[in-house]
Amino acid sequence: MRKTAILLANLGTPASPSESDVRIYLQEFLGDRRVIDMPGYKWKPILHGIILRTRPKKSAALYKKIWTSAGSPIMVHSVNQQRMLQERLKDRGVKVLLGMNYGQPSITSKLAELKEWGVEKLIVLPLFPQYSSTTTASVFDHVCRVLKTWRSMPELCFVRDFPDNEYFIRLLSQRSIECTQKYGEPDALILSYHGIPQRYADEGDDYPKRCRKTTEAVKKQLPHLDIVESFQSKFGKEPWLLPSTGDILKQLAGQGKTHVQIMAPAFAADCLETLEELEDEHRSIFSKAGGKEYHYLPAANDDPLFIDCLVHIAEKYL
């Protein structure tokens, strides 16, 4: 059997919640033209002259709120996903590694490790259920920048996304069912996806369509629930995808709907945008608008159903 490897790729995390480490991370993340596509001569003065002088302090305080004794939640869960997938595929002779698009362990460092190992077939599996140019395509760019320096390239298989994978949808549905069994049926289940600028979608990024694919699949599994799709984490001044999660929460509370469940299907692992933004910030928005019960449903993390999902995807390429 050829030497086959799976490279799981996630967004990344600062090395620590310190202001200096957060600044390093933000410089790499916000310096990616896939994320912010403004011309460098316009964006760099803003990034280095304003954002990297002010935002790291605020972001570091937020990271400190979610940081655990084991480290960054997204790193902890991603490592568990890598470890569990490796265990499931060990009898197939497949090597499973984890690389981060920003921060460490980097995709670059893991590809160097695979080159040294002599990889002959490489399956790149970005941990983003719905394709976006800002996430999945950026991972593709990163991988290609490295591979174009190799004399001998491995066979390359790149997983675009998995918005309606049966195991992934079963996991999302099960999260809601378990919460309902414990707290009763909600007035609404909100599927809150990370947003992107509306302009990116207008120019061809099919991320909104991929999100709807997930939403429709969940609706088929939970037909009795009022399921609402929304978008979060707006950055900058230009219009982003609508409706915003905050506005939806206010609207529901204004309609007298006081009990909601909320989950973030675009995130394979809990992180700042889920544990701080959804769990804390948006809970406060709903409460101030008159809401009573608010239940954040965890991301996929290391749930066995999500590992089933990763195995199911990998087996298509093995």
User: Which residue reads 């991301």 in tokens?
Assistant: 299
Domain count, the chain: 2
Distance CA(299)–CA(270), nearest Å, equals 5
Q: Which of 49, 66, 83 is the last residue of a domain?
A: 66
Whether 303 maps to a domain, the answer reads no
- Please tell me whether residues 173 and 287 are part of one structural domain: yes
**140-156, pLDDT tens digit by residue?**
999 999 999 999 999 99
Helix (H) or strand (E) holding 124: strand 121-126
Q: Around Cβ 142, how many Cβ atoms within 10 Å? A: 23
Whether 88 maps to a domain, the answer reads no
The answer on pLDDT for 26 being more than 90 is: yes
DSSP annotation of 144: H
Output the pLDDT for position 1: 75
In the predicted model, what is the mean pLDDT of the chain? 97
Q: Which of 44, 66, 88 is the last residue of a domain?
A: 66
**Going by C-beta distance under 8 Å and a sequence separation of 6 or more, which residues neighbour residue 240?**
195, 196, 197, 198, 231, 234
Domain of residue 47 covers 19-66
Q: What is the CA radius of gyration of the chain?
A: 20
**How confident is the model over 290-295, as a mean pLDDT?**
98
Beta strand pairing call for 121-126 and 4-12? parallel
Whether 214 maps to a domain, the answer reads yes
Whether 101 maps to a domain, the answer reads no
- Please tell me whether residues 292 and 175 are part of one structural domain: yes
The answer on pLDDT for 192 being more than 90 is: yes
Output the pLDDT for position 94: 97
Output the pLDDT for position 75: 98
* Burial category of 255 from C-beta neighbours within 10 Å (exposed 0-12, middle 13-18, buried 19 and up): exposed
User: Which residue reads 């239940």 in tokens?
Assistant: 295
Whether 305 maps to a domain, the answer reads no
Output the pLDDT for position 121: 98
Number of H helices, E strands in the chain: 13, 8
Whether 37 maps to a domain, the answer reads yes
Distance CA(242)–CA(195), nearest Å, equals 8
Buried b (16+ CB within 10 A) or exposed e, 221-244: bbeebebbbbbbbbeeeeebbeeb
**79-101, pLDDT tens digit by residue?**
999 999 999 999 999 999 999 99
**How confident is the model over 103-110, as a mean pLDDT?**
98
Whether 267 maps to a domain, the answer reads yes
**How confident is the model over 38-62, as a mean pLDDT?**
95
The answer on pLDDT for 171 being more than 90 is: yes
Q: What is the CATH number of the domain that holds 285?
A: 3.40.50.1400
**67-77, pLDDT tens digit by residue?**
999 999 999 99
Whether 207 maps to a domain, the answer reads yes
- Please tell me whether residues 170 and 61 are part of one structural domain: no
**How confident is the model over 248-267, as a mean pLDDT?**
98
Distance CA(286)–CA(293), nearest Å, equals 9
Q: Which of 27, 46, 66 is the last residue of a domain?
A: 66
User: 263 and 191 in contact (C-beta within 8 Å)?
Assistant: yes
**How confident is the model over 30-34, as a mean pLDDT?**
96
**What's at 93, amino acid-wise?**
G
pLDDT band at 4 (very low <50, low <70, confident <90, very high): very high
